[in-house]
Amino acid sequence: MASHLRKPLTVAVTQPPCAPYDVTTNALRNAAVVRNAAARVVAFPELSLTGYELDASAITPEDRRLLPLVEACAATGSVALAGAPLAGEASASHLAMLAVDGNGASVAYRKVNLAAAEACRFTAGSEPVAIQVDGWRLGLAICRDTGIAHHVAATAALGIDLYVAAILHSADEGRVQEERARRIAADHRVWVALASFAGSTGGGYDHASGRSGVWAPDGAVVAQAGPEPGAIIHATLS
């Protein structure tokens, strides 16, 4: 684990409205969220830059449509974790999480545990990942990963302090995501931050659950949003 002398970490989980397929519009919306969030780490839901449109064109971290998000992170000193279909080598593509800061965007994580419909389009990532922000180790996950015990355990084994997941569930699955968050936090004694899609999107998700939140290492909820799009929920980890 990182030193106890590190500074507290401010985290925001968000559920902005999302325009189907429209990277330009969503990057601008995500940038506005970053500017309003006042947080060092700003987490967005699964596929926040395209919506859950599995046939959306894959992008690269160098895509110029991401510049407003890069500029927002430069202005605020934030690290944004945003979701997108990622172009890979040859014909491969991944369901990915990008880490965006004032220097640009990079690939932070490729989803390992794909749902059946996703596996028809994407190549699975190969391993769990942790990144470091200000001495805090953040384990990363995307949706179905949170329900795969061995993946959660392998991510926790990387010595993480905070488990950050970008998720999408239907409204009637809200309790599932909350129970997973509590279990991950309590079992592995880590903070948990879930950024959950709200509103409607592709794949038959006419009513996504929202209810993004942050859970303490004892499993207690620290802060949680409702089901409506637009919420930004903050927590300070210490």
The CATH homologous superfamily for domain 10-237 is Carbon-nitrogen hydrolase (3.60.110.10)
> Which pLDDT score is estimated for 92?
80
As a dihedral over the C-alpha atoms of residue 24, residue 90, residue 80, residue 115, rounded to 10 degrees, the angle is 100
> Which pLDDT score is estimated for 90?
67
Task: Report the alpha-carbon distance of residue 57 to residue 54 in Å, rounded.
Answer: 9
Task: Report the alpha-carbon distance of residue 148 to residue 206 in Å, rounded.
Answer: 25
**DSSP code, position 198:** E
pLDDT tens for the chain, 238 residues long, are 444 578 999 999 999 999 999 999 999 999 999 999 999 999 999 999 999 999 999 999 999 999 999 999 999 999 999 999 999 876 789 999 999 999 999 999 999 999 999 999 999 999 999 999 999 999 999 999 999 999 999 999 999 999 999 999 999 988 899 999 999 999 999 999 999 999 999 999 999 999 999 999 999 999 999 999 999 999 999 9
Count of CA atoms in the C-beta half-sphere (13 A) of 83: 31
Q: Where are the domains of the chain?
A: 10-237
